[in-house]
């Protein structure tokens, strides 16, 4: 048994599935659409340039799918024009010049979650990947940080087993629906950062408990060669 298998086995023994979480970030382009189309073989297809308007989304849920934490979205602008006169946002939102997750942002997010778990008198395990934006905090009383081995996240991280991909599929569908509506009205499709936040939140809501459970199970089964709890 490898060190990671031993650590994971220990976590599963000490925590209930509802108290084992995984968090990860992904980039989402505002006008994200499928990159393939159906057409006859000899017909030339010409597409426009992909939109470079990108946001970073932090996604976190627990092992049994009973708790999907609020999305944290990171954009480039601190105060996009579309936020004017908006009293509340559908997701949490922060910003920096590159719209990337930073160590300070992750620390702030984790400390806030730690306080919430303390208030609920809960103790959880948080599985995270080993990247510079995820510092190893030692002062957390309600959260035990569990770091994945380097270069293994594509197999061992539940979010990479289909949760993030499922979120993006739902988001693409909403973008396509917006484009079809614009085509029917003979107008140009407009997707603002605020629109993207609403569509991400809607997509996150559509993600089912069963999907999350299956992705966690797949990650665990990979480590234990099919021997699942």
Is 60 exceeded by the pLDDT of residue 29?
yes
Cβ neighbours, 10 Å, residue 128:
22
* 95 within 8 A of 71, measured Cβ to Cβ: no
Which are the contacts of 111, defined by CB distance < 8 A and separation ≥ 6?
137, 140
**Which pLDDT belongs to residue 3?**
78
Q: 131 is written with which tokens?
A: 């990247």
Among 75, 39, 46, smallest CA distance to 191 is for 75
Average model confidence (pLDDT) across the chain: 87
**Which pLDDT belongs to residue 186?**
87
* Beta-bridge mates of residue 93: 73
Where residue 1 falls among pLDDT bands split at 50, 70, 90? Answer: low
Which are the contacts of 73, defined by CB distance < 8 A and separation ≥ 6?
55, 56, 57, 58, 91, 92, 93, 94, 196, 197, 200
Which domains can be identified in the chain, with CATH numbers? 3-33+50-223 (3.30.420.10)
* 132 within 8 A of 199, measured Cβ to Cβ: no
**Which pLDDT belongs to residue 12?**
92
Is this structure's pTM higher than 0.75? Answer: yes
**Burial of 203 by CB count in 10 Å (0-12 exposed, 13-18 middle, 19+ buried)?**
buried
Q: 90 is written with which tokens?
A: 């559908």
* 228 within 8 A of 60, measured Cβ to Cβ: no
Distance of CA 31 to the CA centre of its chain: 17
Helix (H/G/I), strand (E/B), else coil: 194: helix
Is 90 exceeded by the pLDDT of residue 48?
no
Measure the CA angle with vertex 145, ends 142 and 116; round to 5°: 30
Is 50 exceeded by the pLDDT of residue 147?
yes
Distance of CA 204 to the CA centre of its chain: 9
């Amino acid at each position: 048994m490898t060190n990671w298998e031993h650590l994971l086995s220990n976590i599963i023994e000490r925590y209930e599935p509802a108290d084992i979480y995984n968090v990860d970030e992904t980039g989402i382009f505002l006008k994200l659409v499928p990159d393939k189309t159906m057409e006859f073989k000899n017909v030339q297809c010409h597409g426009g340039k992909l939109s470079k308007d990108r946001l970073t989304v932090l996604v976190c849920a627990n092992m049994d799918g009973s708790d999907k934490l609020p999305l944290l979205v990171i954009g480039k602008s601190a105060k996009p024009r579309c936020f004017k006169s908006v009293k509340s946002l559908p997701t949490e939102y922060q910003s920096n010049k590159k719209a990337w997750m930073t160590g300070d942002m992750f620390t702030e997010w984790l400390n806030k979650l730690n306080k919430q778990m303390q208030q609920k008198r809960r103790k959880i395990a948080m599985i995270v990947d080993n990247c510079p934006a995820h510092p190893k905090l030692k002062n957390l009383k309600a959260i035990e940080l569990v770091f994945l081995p380097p270069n293994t996240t594509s197999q061992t991280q539940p979010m990479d087993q289909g949760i993030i991909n499922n979120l993006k599929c739902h988001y693409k569908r909403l973008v396509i629906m917006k484009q079809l509506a614009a085509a029917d009205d003979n107008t140009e499709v407009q997707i603002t950062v605020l629109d993207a936040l609403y569509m991400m939140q809607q997509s996150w809501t559509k993600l089912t408990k069963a999907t999350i459970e299956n992705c966690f199970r797949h990650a665990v089964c990979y480590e234990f060669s099919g021997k699942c709890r």
